[in-house]
Chains A and B, each alone.
Chain A
Amino acid sequence: MNNSFWIYLLVMVLTTYLIRALPFSLFRKKIKSKRLQAFFDYIPYAVLTSMTVPAIFYSGINLWAGILGFAVAMFLSYKNKSLLFVAIGTVIAAFVGGFIPF
């Protein structure tokens, strides 16, 4: 991955940087369209969701690790626990789940 790493990184950095710096430098108007505004509101949550499901189920040592990790993450988040608390709970659940023989 070593050679292609820099090319990947360049595309990644340029895209992310320009998305921030171009509008910050050039734009002066507010976005008025309610639909566009809603799209911008929804996109972060939709992205985080579709990056997590179903990837989380396949990112453990076995399927159980992912399932248990996800269940605990859902439960603790529902209880409005902090990011760090939820992360630790998820990790412990995934670690324990990894020992369940399939």
Chain B
Amino acid sequence: MANKNQDNTYKRGFNDGLAIGLGYLSVSFSFGIMAVSSGLTWWQAVIISISNLTSAGQVAGVGIMAASGTLIEMFLSQLVINIRYSLMAISLSQKVDSSMNLPSRAILGYGITDEIFGVAMAADHDVGRRYFAGLMTLPILGWTLGTLLGAVLGSILPENLTVALAIGIYGMFVAIVLPVAKKNKRILTVVLMAIMFALIIRYVPFFSFLSGGFAAIVSAVLASAIGAFILPVDDIDDKEAV
């Protein structure tokens, strides 16, 4: 910790956020396309991205808007999909230094994403407010810019192309889940249960009262709860954040 002050500069955080920002460009590009192909305007897509800064939650949110779902459904979907951020926030709160006062936490908490959290936790120094503010700068920019590009392009391109492009975000979801499920049997089990519940809810007429958004939440909560009950975490080392 000899160079603690040097580590906790805005500039250092800014640089550490570059790779995340670039990665976010492509994911949010897909989101932008998906949002306009669901009927939103380009500026609505951009506002959603800059204010939410989360991938799966935004995809679910747009789905609920497009289907004119209820506000309860919107609340529950965001709660379930994003509840992992609470855990990250708690972990991160143990690693911040004294510069991270209450107002800073209230403002900078907005920037806790899977990747920003991962980089902050991997830093070999305590996390100061300047560093963390720097760290989230390029990811926020990348996320917003990618959405703008995707949304604008999605409004111009022919329909058969934008519909195909919109599927890209599901491809990314597969690319996040499958490599982890391949290595981790407990996550594989949960994933298979989630697929099973999702298919049952979708195709068994009894569950037709559940909309697409709710179906995904119910399946995910059921699979994770059963998974947690029969397969609790026994080792912290095979714990992986998305």
* Residues in A lying within 8 Å of B, measured CB to CB: 1, 4-5, 7-9, 11-13, 15-17, 19-25, 27-31, 34-56, 59-61, 65-66, 69-70, 72-74, 76-78, 80-84, 86-92, 94-95, 98
Contact = CB atoms under 8 A, between A and B. Distances in A.
B105 interface: yes
B167 A65 contact: yes
A74 to B, nearest CB: 6
B106 A47 contact: no
A94 B164 contact: yes
B57 interface: yes
Contacts of A4: 65, 68
Nearest to A79: B179
Contacts of A42: 186-187, 190, 223-224, 227-228
A20 B161 contact: no
A50 B220 contact: yes
11 contacts: A19-B79, A30-B91, A39-B228, A40-B87, A46-B223, A47-B217, A48-B177, A50-B216, A53-B198, A95-B164, A98-B164
Nearest to A76: B175
Contact of A19 (B56, B86, B240): B86
Interface residues of B, number: 107
A19 to B, nearest CB: 5
A91 to B, nearest CB: 5
Contacts of A30: 90-91, 94
Contacts of B227: 38-39, 42, 46
B10 interface: no
> Closest 6 interchain pairs by CB?
A90-B171, A21-B109, A95-B164, A86-B175, A77-B178, A24-B89
B219 A77 contact: no
